[in-house]
Amino acid sequence: MPVPDRRDIRNLLLKALSDDAFNMLTADARTIQLPVKHSLVDSDQPNEHVCFIEEGLASMVAANGDEEAVEVGHIGHEGMAGLHVVLKTDTTPNRTFIQVAGSGLQVSVENFTGMLAIFPAANQLFLNYMHCCDVQLAHSALANGRYNMHERLARWLLMCHDRLNGNGLPLTHEFLALMLGVRRSGVTNELHVIEGLGAIRTTRGHIRVIDRVRLEEIAAGSYGVPEREYERLIGLPIRRPATQNALSSR
């Protein structure tokens, strides 16, 4: 599929690029569909492309020799998959794959790094984004270490809400459990609690945010620092406006 017109681009990083850099990058790009579980970066495998998410959600997951894994990075229309190529590193032990189906712009690694070499401002933009991801990683560790399921779940829902259109999040409890590294029925319980507090409404395979302010209260300090850093350095808002009782827009 062809690249959409520049004005229709959703990806914030692409929006932040200069016209010249954008044109060079997209000369070689194409729009691809991103079905659930589609792999964007495999563990310890060089990847041929990076992918700018236009719609949907990807997760970066750290895993190891045991079967253990947790999500450490959240990527939506504000970011890209394959960030390690910004550091000119060929592979990474982390995996990245699609969690909520969508679409994205696929660019070859050569073209991407070539563009970075020519446009210093673009290179700096991606270094800034790299830094934001570092902060997000650090705060994933903080959340996992110091907050309980209640707050972590709210944090996770907020991060999804920031990165998806509308207020409906197509997520199963199973998936949330996998990402948070907790037991599935623990997620079920906590979702009920959060629903009882009036922040969300759940139906099978679907969670709707109805009071974002409340959700931010629940997440407490576990949410916010990486998001503010993104806005400071990239210059575009990532956090959604705090709509209360948004019973509209699915």
Partner DNA sequence: CGATATTTCGTCAAAATCGTACAAACCCCG
Partner DNA sequence: CGGGGTTTGTACGATTTTGACGAAATATCG
Least Å distance between CB 148 and a second copy?
11
Contacted entry of a second copy, DNA, none for residue 130, CB cut-off 5 to 8 Å set by kind: a second copy
Could you tell me which stretch among 21-29, 57-65, 101-109, 181-189 binds DNA (CB under 7 A)?
Answer: 181-189
Stretch that binds DNA, among 50-58, 126-134, 200-208, 228-236 (CB under 7 A): 200-208
Residues with Cβ < 8 Å from 9, sequence gap 6 or more? 15, 54
CB distance 234 to 128 below 8 Å: yes
205 forms part of the interface with DNA (CB under 7 A): yes
Task: Pick what 134 binds: DNA, a second copy, none; C-beta below 5 to 8 Å, kind-dependent.
Answer: a second copy
Segment contacting a second copy (CB under 8 A): 135-143, 160-168, 188-196, 238-246? 135-143
d(CA 187, CA 176) in angstroms, rounded, equals 7
Rounded CA separation 202/229 (Å): 31
Residue 189 or residue 243: which is nearer to DNA going by CB? 189
Strands (E), the chain: 30-34, 39-41, 49-63, 69-75, 80-81, 95-108, 168-169, 200-203, 206-209
Q: What residues between 24 and 63 interact with a second copy by CB under 8 A?
A: 60, 62-63
